[in-house]
Structure 1
């Protein structure tokens, strides 16, 4: 069972998270007010610090392909996590972006977020199958830009059906924590699980850092369930 954790904000906490057993570590290079976002230079420093320690994932909610490509060039992740509006970054657009990026970064993988808003998610996953290397099935919140960071679960029966139908590795996200990840794995049988909100340590005055103890507990629970 692969474990992915968002969102790293310093090289130090990223290295600690990797040491806790996390396989995929995410950064949010953005200036849109997203949870835990950081600038490109900080994201690159985290990616460099994690070399050989974990897979490095960079998230984008942008719809302009040039902006996404510029972020990848600056940050140099192993995995590009696309979680913007799928009506704007369509499968056709992702295909164009994929060809453009893989010409320069041949080992880059595309992690496509599927908004788990209802049965239509099955059709969305099918549409993105040919242009994605991995899927992440995530909840949506109206107050958060893009797909994810909602902190709530969704209908796992639909997620399970996507896992059954898809030829791509599937990461389950959305409201997961050490207490419910075992039930989620039993219900969905995903390739991996993801946590952001419920492995955070809130800071006085707003914002957060990662709680390494919560991350370690999440990793342990996920591995035990698998």
Structure 2
């Protein structure tokens, strides 16, 4: 399936992970942040990934890249999940230096989330050039909210100011109904990698829906 990359984040069971991969998801995300309704342990994620690999082998679909979402995590937490992952996704206060160090230490690519409210946030993202492999522009959460998965959008036109080379994903309030507009808004920019969704394919926080996942991937890639 061509078109932009699609990341389905916050998976908690094998059925939805398999449904996402079968429908053409390029990245699957597991949340290792205890305060999230989408939290899974590395053990649980490992079992889901085993089932996913078996299904990919049996049915012949491509195995997506596997992303672990962390918020200011310590070495122990990262090392427990690292063997499962192709990418770390950092949603905390990780500096460019910290992102670079952890990527090198674990030999894992790094996605750094950049919360956006205005153009200054886009400018700040340039500090991660060469430190993160992928940037993820997400809506800045309201005070006291979780860092992501809140269903809020930001003004995608702000990304017109982004002129660095690091590939980026667009997240924040995307749904099967608005994702095609989000993709179109990126105007075929070379650094635009794709889109990321969590709450937009759920019926309740942490409860994914296979039909919404399929509809989202189809709308994004069409």
TM-score for both structures, normalised by structure 1: 0.84
The answer to whether residue 169 in structure 2 is matched with residue 167 in structure 1 is no
Runs of 4 or more, structure 1, over 4 Å off, are none
2:199, 2:206 within 8 Å by CA — same for their partners in 1?
no
Determine the C-alpha separation between the residues in 2 that align with 1:143 and 1:212.
30
Choose which of 76, 89, 92 in structure 1 pairs with 2:84: 76
Q: Which string of whole-angstrom CA distances, capped at 9 and with x for unpartnered residues, describes residues 112-159 of structure 1? A: 11111222222321101111111111112234333x212111021222
- Unaligned 5+ segments in structure 2 are 54-61
CA contact (8 A) 2:68 2:87 kept: yes
Change (3 A) 1:27 1:97: same
Partner of 1:55: 65
Which sections of structure 1, spanning at least 5 residues, go unmatched? 103-107
Q: Tell me the number of residue pairs that the alignment of Structure 1 and Structure 2 aligns.
A: 206
Give the RMSD, CA atoms, in angstroms.
1.8
- Find the aligned partners of 1:67 and 1:118 in 2 and give their Cα distance: 35
Shift of 1:38: 1.1
Match of 1:217 in 2: 215
- Checking the alignment, whether the CA contact within 8 Å between 1:28 and 1:37 is kept in structure 2 is yes
Equivalent positions of 1:17-166 (< 5 A) are: 17-31=20-34, 33-51=35-53, 53-64=63-74, 66-73=75-82, 76-85=84-93, 89-102=94-107, 108-141=108-141, 142-146=143-147, 148-162=148-162, 165-166=163-164
Contact kept? 2:170, 2:196, Cα under 8 Å: yes
Q: Distance in 2 between matches of 1:46 and 1:211?
A: 16
